[in-house]
Structure 1
């Protein structure tokens, strides 16, 4: 008998496709992505909540912000709602997801850039930034600590990073809810919308395999973030999706900024 903790027997457990494979899957599902996430109660509201938790002053006036892993622009819109007067650089490695983002209506203070995270400098995306939002990104990086360290280096001293991410490891109720939602809603909906389930089964598996909240917080501290703390979401994603906040220290290698 299949339980919510087990994959459906007709669907083999997906293997980690690697960075290029993940981008290919995002490219293939870009056309239906907005419709699928729009059916998730609280999806856009929770992204906005994470962006606002950066506590950007004066509606972002004079600030330069980075939305890393912007996808089709949902996180960009969240950052814009939190800081409507800021300049925002939105970056994604999926060409098709970014194409869908660019087709939407944006103020001229928002710039979209196609690049993988490990190639930002090649396309001219350099710091310092006054704040960074990384939504559903860290879990997909081949080396989470290296990625967090790279984000730290992009921040202005004293500026903050908001990691908006799934984490259910070590919490049985959260894992049970996640399994049930994936196999009863997310994966079937992905099949209906796109005719394929690889990305959605990867999403299911990657969340189960990802860091616990304590481990991710420790990773952030280990690469140099200070004041690391975590905030929960509301609704069915309570205990499943979190905002992890950290700041680049004002004092670096004996220098006070």
Structure 2
């Protein structure tokens, strides 16, 4: 154990520093948790964009009687965005990093929000029974070993007609979007992450954007996983063409949608 207020020791350097996975990635996030919110605050649109993606779920009735999942909740920024969009919903927020969850739990939350420590790959075990009306996943899928398996698991946890909104670095495919991201990562994100002692994590996160799907490829991935009515929407500002919301619907559920008074999305 470390004395109160002392940061945990840095995780051991991974064998493949360009890419972290599984327990290595969770340990890196544990170590970075103490400074994570300060770093994302450098992006003035960070929280507003999460709220925009949460609104794109089009949840009716302020979320009354709805059960929602926040996948990869981190320090709780995505949870706060989901709660803002659906303040009356029952929200289960899940993350694999104990350090990030400790930061999330330290915020003040109403009783309709609960946090679960579990890797998203085991979301079916971590869920508290029954199905969910919607799920939100911010900055998650590009860090998974098998995003297709997780998409299928989330689809199975949703009620017929339930929606998934993915807020993610999914580049547009235009060379200008890739260039802007590379410049921001090399000039801002990586140097700040290095100053905080978390260079391996932020190098991984930057490279994960370059490796991951374009927005069209991720939309196609969601369709292959069984989601229908998949649509994409960009973010405003400097992240146009870099960050998108991708929303899809679990198959079926015409009666469910009419009963909830919602739109297909």
Q: TM-score, normalised by structure 1?
A: 0.90
1:216 to 195, 215, 218: 218
Equivalent residue, structure 1, for 2:95: 92
DSSP 3-state at the match of 1:54 = coil
Question: Where in structure 2 are the equivalents of 1:89-238 lying within 5 Å?
Answer: 89-168=92-171, 170-192=173-195, 194-238=196-240
Question: Where in structure 2 are the equivalents of 1:41-52 lying within 5 Å?
Answer: 41-52=44-55
In the alignment, the residues of structure 2 paired with residue 125 and residue 197 of structure 1 have an alpha-carbon distance, to the nearest angstrom, of 36
Equivalent residue, structure 1, for 2:11: none
Equivalent residue, structure 2, for 1:240: 242
Aligned length: 240
User: Which string of whole-angstrom CA distances, capped at 9 and with x for unpartnered residues, describes residues 170-191 of structure 1?
Assistant: 3210110001001111111112
Contact map agreement 1:126 1:154 (CA 8 A) in 2: no
**What's the CA shift for 1:19?**
1.6
**What's the CA shift for 1:125?**
3.6
In the alignment, the residues of structure 1 paired with residue 236 and residue 149 of structure 2 have an alpha-carbon distance, to the nearest angstrom, of 30
The answer on 1:75 being equivalent to 2:99 is no
Contact map agreement 2:124 2:153 (CA 8 A) in 1: no
In the alignment, the residues of structure 1 paired with residue 103 and residue 176 of structure 2 have an alpha-carbon distance, to the nearest angstrom, of 35
In the alignment, the residues of structure 2 paired with residue 124 and residue 55 of structure 1 have an alpha-carbon distance, to the nearest angstrom, of 22
**What's the CA shift for 1:41?**
1.8
In the alignment, the residues of structure 1 paired with residue 125 and residue 54 of structure 2 have an alpha-carbon distance, to the nearest angstrom, of 27
**What's the CA shift for 1:213?**
1.3
DSSP 3-state at the match of 1:120 = helix
The answer on 1:37 being equivalent to 2:44 is no
**What's the CA shift for 1:118?**
2.1
In the alignment, the residues of structure 2 paired with residue 66 and residue 151 of structure 1 have an alpha-carbon distance, to the nearest angstrom, of 9
**What's the CA shift for 1:124?**
4.4
**What's the CA shift for 1:205?**
0.5
In the alignment, the residues of structure 2 paired with residue 46 and residue 17 of structure 1 have an alpha-carbon distance, to the nearest angstrom, of 26
Q: TM-score, normalised by structure 2?
A: 0.87
**What's the CA shift for 1:238?**
0.7
Are the structure 2 counterparts of residues 169 and 16 from structure 1 closer, same or farther at C-alpha, using a change threshold of 3 Å? farther
**What's the CA shift for 1:117?**
1.4
**What's the CA shift for 1:120?**
2.8
**What's the CA shift for 1:20?**
1.5
In the alignment, the residues of structure 1 paired with residue 203 and residue 250 of structure 2 have an alpha-carbon distance, to the nearest angstrom, of 35
Contact map agreement 2:123 2:153 (CA 8 A) in 1: no
